[in-house]
Structure 1
Amino acid sequence: MEPKGTGLGSSLLVPSVQELAREPITKVPARYVRLDQDPPIISRPPSSLPKVPVIDMARLSSENSADHELEKLHIACKDRGFFQIINHGVSISLMDKVKEETQEFFKLPMEEKKKFWQTTDDVEGFGQAFVISEEQKLDWADIFYLITLPHGIRKPYLFPNLPLPFR
């Protein structure tokens, strides 16, 4: 049976950044250079760098502070596109284990990672997601995109083949 997409769209397949980086290069390929963005400013002292927005899940679930925390979440999503969540109930040891297993996955030989390569009709798997044109600027990174919940839309061809305990 052919795996069904998640409805998140499709993605053009592009070479693995890890593979590109293994070859000796003297210049970053043009597709990964973003001239339309300001270069990073590294001369500022660390204390003046922008702070990552912090969202407190305990405050978000509290009747007394939910509105204020929800507004902070809204602003973080709208203005930054990312944030840190605290008081979420996930143990530090579990987060460390997930980080470690993720790093181990990306250290696997390319032949192993290719078992999880994205298909053209789905964004889940190893590669880069949401590539819609040959001219599109790309991130200098590979990803492993996977939907875990709800269980009913998990990809049967991805989950059972993941190395333990990453699975």
Structure 2
Amino acid sequence: MEASKVEKIGRSLQVPSVQELAKDKSATVPSQYIHSDQDPVILSSTNLPEVPVIDMEILLHGDLMDAELNKFHQACKEWGFFQLINHGVSDSLLEKVKTEVVEFFNLPLEEKRKFGQLDGDIEGCGQSFVVSEEQKLDWADMIYVITLPTDLRKPHLLPQLPHSFSILNLMAKALQMNPEEMEVLFEEGMQSMRMNHYPFSTE
């Protein structure tokens, strides 16, 4: 994929670290982080739909493979995303990733600046798609990186990320597609990841 295509993802102005703002307990939350025009979120309903859960173990060699493929098909078709369980990634590795993300956000500001966004870029540590000083922002810091295609990775952000997963082949099977057709669809596609940190606020 050409660099010019990646530039279309977006640009972002640099903003102060929310973690640093949150450290000053006597300060009020800046107005750009206050969303007074939003209706309160009401979570009392018990009839909310649940995110589809797909069991990788059953997909690969279970007696209920066909039923699970059908669930997978519906998840891809109706939702566009799903939760994957029994994927072979150990709980200890998942906990290690969570711990390292927390440790990253707990680094001193000067250390995190080494991973900061460059002017006009959305990759790195900061906030995405900030286009004006008046824009309402989330009370969060984040790090965003492009992981695929591999030639677009920025080594200073995350030097060693895993290659694509076999999940694409299973998606093709669930959607009754030829795996090669699925690969063509993702040939010029992109994969990225974003990790958010939401500091405590008294307001």
Question: Which TM class, normalised by the smaller chain length?
Answer: 0.7 to 0.9
Once the 2 structures are TM-superposed, how far is the Cα of residue 63 of structure 1 from its aligned partner?
5.0
Give the match for residue 30 of structure 2. 29
Q: Secondary structure at the match of 2:136?
A: coil
2:51 alignment partner, one of 50, 53, 57: 53
Shift of the alpha carbon at 1:119? 1.2
Across the two proteins, how many residue pairs are aligned to each other?
150
Identify the structure with bigger relative contact order (alpha carbons < 8 Å, sequence gap 6+).
1
Equivalent residue, structure 2, for 1:116: 115
Give the TM-score normalised by the residue count of structure 2.
0.61
Q: Is the 8 A contact 2:59 2:69 kept in 1?
A: yes
Normalised by the length of structure 1, the TM-score is 0.73
Higher percent of residues as strand: 2
Report if the CA contact (8 A) 1:60-1:67 is conserved: no
**Unpaired runs of at least 5, structure 1:** 161-167
Shift of 1:15: 0.8
Instruction: Note closer, same or farther for the CA distance 1:137–1:92 as it changes in structure 2 (3 Å cut).
Output: same
1:66-125 CA distances to partner (integer Å, 9 max, x unpaired)? 344333344444xxxx75332333221111111011110111000100111101232111
Residue matched to 2:175: none
State the SS of the aligned residue for 1:159.
Answer: coil
% identical aligned pairs: 49
Matched letter for residue 17 of structure 2: S
In structure 1, distance between residues paired with 2:37 and 2:82: 24
| CA RMSD in angstroms, aligned pairs only | 2.9
Tell me which residue corresponds to 2:74: 71
| 1:37–1:83 CA distance, 2 compared to 1 (3 A) | farther
Structure 2: 5+ residue stretches without partners: 160-203
Greater C-alpha radius of gyration? 2
